[in-house]
Amino acid sequence: MSDYCCICNTRISEGDRNQIFMNGGYLSFEFCSNCWKSEKLHSPSTGGVITIAELFEQSNKDHNKQ
């Protein structure tokens, strides 16, 4: 695990750490709470815009349906 946010590169404490695992857990990204809630991701294929937190919530909902 890293001690730095992968977006703003600030040091993050254990209690402030948010992680997303992708590709079956082979890839992980860590974010501070500010970037987690505010940074937006853009999908070129759909034109959609979503925050990292919203993507995480949607992913959890999709995973729990299975």
pTM of the model: 0.67
Write out pLDDT tens, residues 15-58.
778 888 877 888 888 888 899 889 998 888 889 999 988 888 88
Look at phi and psi of residue 47 and say left if phi exceeds 0, alpha if psi is from -120 to 50, else beta.
left
**9: confidence class by pLDDT, cuts 50, 70, 90:** very high
pLDDT > 60? residue 1? no
From residue 23, give the alpha-carbon distance in Å to each of 28, 29, 31: 9, 12, 18
Q: Helix (H, G, I), strand (E, B), or coil: what is residue 29?
A: strand
**pLDDT at residue 22 in the model:** 77
